[in-house]
Amino acid sequence: MPVTTRIEEVRNQVEALAQAAPTAKDLMEGVCKLLHERMLKYNWVGFYMLEPGAQPPALVLGAFMGAMTPHTRIPLNQGICGAAASSGKMIVVDDVSKDTRYLACSLETKSEIVVPVFVAKQVTGELDIDSHFSAAFGAEDQELVQYCAEVVGKKLEKSQ
């Protein structure tokens, strides 16, 4: 199956999940499962959410699919996840061994994408995906992951 077709199908499945999921937590779990199972190069998929009131501010691991990570709590000034949440911008790293911000979770991880999740124009979390392949996240992947983060953000906004 061509990548474009798979991405379109996954995007449609994310939309269906958003309609069917009773809570944002259910949606995040569904998105993790779907991306992990359907996107072959997405070896670890998870959401980190900002912990309300934490000082210093920190991201806490939420729903995820893949191997357990030692990074269940990440200060905003650490790692690629912290950088994405602090800047409010997507970060794509084609080769994690060349990025000093990378917090090693697995020796197999070669590339990573992190996309902030916004609620009312404020970063509330992020979608983090690791791959065992270098440069795994091309333009279509970036659009898909951005879309997933936006759908989750809308669901979170509605639940407030």
- Transcribe the chain into DSSP letters: --HHHHHHHHHHHHHHHHHH-SSHHHHHHHHHHHHHHHSTT--EEEEEEEPTT-SS-EEEEEEEESS--S-SEEETTSHHHHHHHHHTS-EEES-GGG-TT---S-TT--EEEEEEEEETTEEEEEEEEEESSTT---HHHHHHHHHHHHHHHHHHHHT-
Does the pTM surpass 0.85? The reply is yes
Average pLDDT over residues 91-101: 92
Tokens encoding 78: 């650490």
- What per-residue confidence (pLDDT) applies to 101? 85
- On the question of pLDDT at 88 being above 80, the answer is yes
Burial, 103: exposed, middle or buried (Cβ in 10 Å; 0-12, 13-18, 19+)? middle
- What per-residue confidence (pLDDT) applies to 114? 97
- What per-residue confidence (pLDDT) applies to 28? 98
- What per-residue confidence (pLDDT) applies to 1? 65
- On the question of pLDDT at 3 being above 80, the answer is no
Contact 130, 109 (CB under 8 A): yes
- What per-residue confidence (pLDDT) applies to 21? 96
- On the question of pLDDT at 53 being above 70, the answer is yes
Give residue 5's pLDDT band: very low, low, confident or very high (50, 70, 90): confident
| Cα gap 53→111, rounded to integer Å | 31
pLDDT one-digit tens code per residue, 99-143? 878 877 777 899 999 999 999 999 999 999 999 999 999 999 999
- On the question of pLDDT at 24 being above 80, the answer is yes
Topology classification of domain 3-158: Beta-Lactamase (3.30.450)
